[in-house]
A and B are shown apart, each in its own frame.
Chain A
Amino acid sequence: MRDIAQLEKVGRQIRRDIIQMTTLAGSGHPGGSLSATDLMAALYFEIANVDPSDPMKEDRDRVIYSKAHVTPLIYSVLARRGFFDPELLKTFRKLGSPLQGHPHIHCVPGIEMSGGSLGQGISIALGTAIAGKMDRAPWRVYCLMGDGELQEGQVWEAFMAAAHYKADNLTAIIDKNGLEIDGTTKDVMDIDPLEKKLEAFGWHVIECDGHDYGQILYAFDQAKQTKGKPQAIIAHTVKGKGVSFMENNAEWHGKAPNQVEAEKALLELAD
């Protein structure tokens, strides 16, 4: 039986880490980290076959970050899952730290690949998935994507190729929070109707509330059972989720909270 209450607790812990890491660093991306928190907590604590004591084990599921600017989330979820000491989170974005602003390949256990230039992770994930199919491997590939980055043309090259090569071991998790740096995706460059576009590209599309653990887990289960097609989980999310003054505000895409703001946020995120 899956323990939703435990996942919610993990989610709050990760969100507190996100606030503390960005505040301490004085920079970083809290908005998109908070919107994808529940998706990654569910993936790492319930769904993905990963083992912190053997991070490179052959049959592990591969997680590739396409929206890799959400390093506060990525590093926190890995640390909290046991891949490395959470103390290291305090060095985020500091000179000499393995926790770079955007991740570098194998910088800490659990990081499969470098990332940060948008629109590329899905192609990397596809190459990984193709290799898995060549070897008839049991593992799956998960790719966390943003909705803004779907404006990159390469993403659609990858979507086309993934369906062409019937990469059914590949699941794209699209954090559809509706905001990017310059405003709403609708105003900046509309990506909708996303579901229809993905279906037209040959993907199996699953929609869910990206903050409802029951729905998220069900979406992952559906994805796993899909044969012959790559799957996209379109998760409807709120940018800045969990911190009242950050929610649905594009300003918090790439801005760190100050001390006062952080304390306010941490109060809201307390257990």
Chain B
Amino acid sequence: MEPKATRFGYSEALLMLGEKDDRIVALDADLAKSTSSARFRDKFPDRFFNMGIAEQNMVDVAAGLALSGKIPFASSYGVFVTGRAWEQMRTMVCYSKLPVRIAGHAGVSVGADGATHQALEDIAIMNVLPNMHVFSPCDYYETIKATMAAAYVDGPAYIRFGRAPIPIITEVDSPFEVGKATIMKKGSDVTVVATGTMVNEALIASADLANFGVSVEVVNLSTIKPLDGETILNSVAKTGCAVTAEEHQITGGIGSIIASFLSLNLPVPLEMVGMGDRFGESGEPFELLKHFHCNSCEIVQACLRAISRRQTSRVVL
């Protein structure tokens, strides 16, 4: 199948949800075409609310709808729906544990709009909130499943999707479970924990390294919160070193998240691929991923560094 942007998986799921559950409502902040929530608007006009360019009000209106038995999905650019409305999410939605679902496109692969529109902090600021669920699916099919599942989790949720077409790497019937990481490829030398667009890059890196006799295990972290510690521990216990890969700031992103988890549970050499404390810029999506060192080449190098550090530390031990 042709590459497809994950944002369309979001609206595909909304359509299916809307069909079977009258409580599903959607809101957008004048970006219905871009987020693709317009498809829901066209099919269920009475259950769609364009709130205009006013994300703070949108999120709290969604909270009010949730209070009254609706299941609201509010979308915009990832930067604005998580950042502009962060305190609304914190104090109203998360503190009250309301079933508000927010969604947006994120990462440098948002592309030519540049740094202002490229959410690279959204995982960090959503992950820190108690009661929150954070989904970062890796392709079109998985975004459908994550969105469908998000509708019925206990409490609020954020779904991070993308704007650029990316390869489809899962099957229609691949399993998806909230809070469960999936092993995309088994391996024994190093664990790569990747999320979103970087899962495919990790698979490419894994194939490249296989040519040199290095066996990589690729873990798809499609739910970032709650974290599937068990799957990560089992993998890392086997490989003895790990790499994280994300289209997000390493600080506060899955780099930090996996580092704190492993340092408490199973300290091993860990390398991190992602944005290094800087803003993005305009460009073509994949050109940007390469420019900002978020691609398979970086993952290959990070794997080699992690393996080398593991061997060194074994000598020391």
Contact = CB atoms under 8 A, between A and B. Distances in A.
Interface of B is mostly: helix
Interface string A60-75: 0010100000000000
B61 A126 contact: yes
Nearest to B70: A131
A152 to B, nearest CB: 9
Contacts of A114: 91-92, 95-96
A132 B61 CA distance: 12
A4 interface: no
A249 to B, nearest CB: 29
A127 B62 contact: yes
Contacts of A164: 52
Interface in B23-69: 25, 46-47, 49, 51-52, 54, 56-57, 59-69
Contact of A123 (B46, B60, B70, B98): B60
Contacts of A154: 54, 56-57, 60, 88
Interface stretch (A89-97, A155-163, A257-265): A155-163
B92 A124 contact: yes
Given A114-B95, A158-B57, A127 B88 contact: no
Nearest to A125: B64
B92 A120 contact: yes
A104 interface: yes
Nearest to A165: B49
Contacts, number: 100
A203 to B, nearest CB: 15
A128 B64 contact: yes
A105 interface: yes
A124 B47 contact: no
A157 B54 contact: yes
- Chain B contact patch, size range: 20 to 34
Contacts of A126: 57, 60-61, 64
B64 A161 contact: no
Contact of B96 (A113, A127, A130, A135): A113
A104 B98 CA distance: 12
Interface in A129-145: 129-132, 134-135
A132 B52 contact: no
Nearest to A129: B64
Contact of B91 (A64, A112, A117, A129): A117
B64 A157 contact: no
A108 to B, nearest CB: 15
A105 B52 CA distance: 28
B87 interface: yes
Contacts of A158: 57, 60-61
Given A124-B92, A131-B68, 14 more contacts: A117-B91, A123-B60, A124-B60, A127-B62, A127-B65, A128-B64, A128-B67, A129-B64, A130-B61, A131-B69, A132-B68, A154-B60, A157-B54, A161-B61
A104 B95 contact: yes
5 contacts: A124-B67, A126-B57, A131-B70, A153-B56, A154-B88
B99 to A, nearest CB: 12
Given A117-B91, A120-B88, A131 B96 contact: no
Given A114-B96, A124-B92, A134-B46, A161 B68 contact: no
Nearest to A139: B68
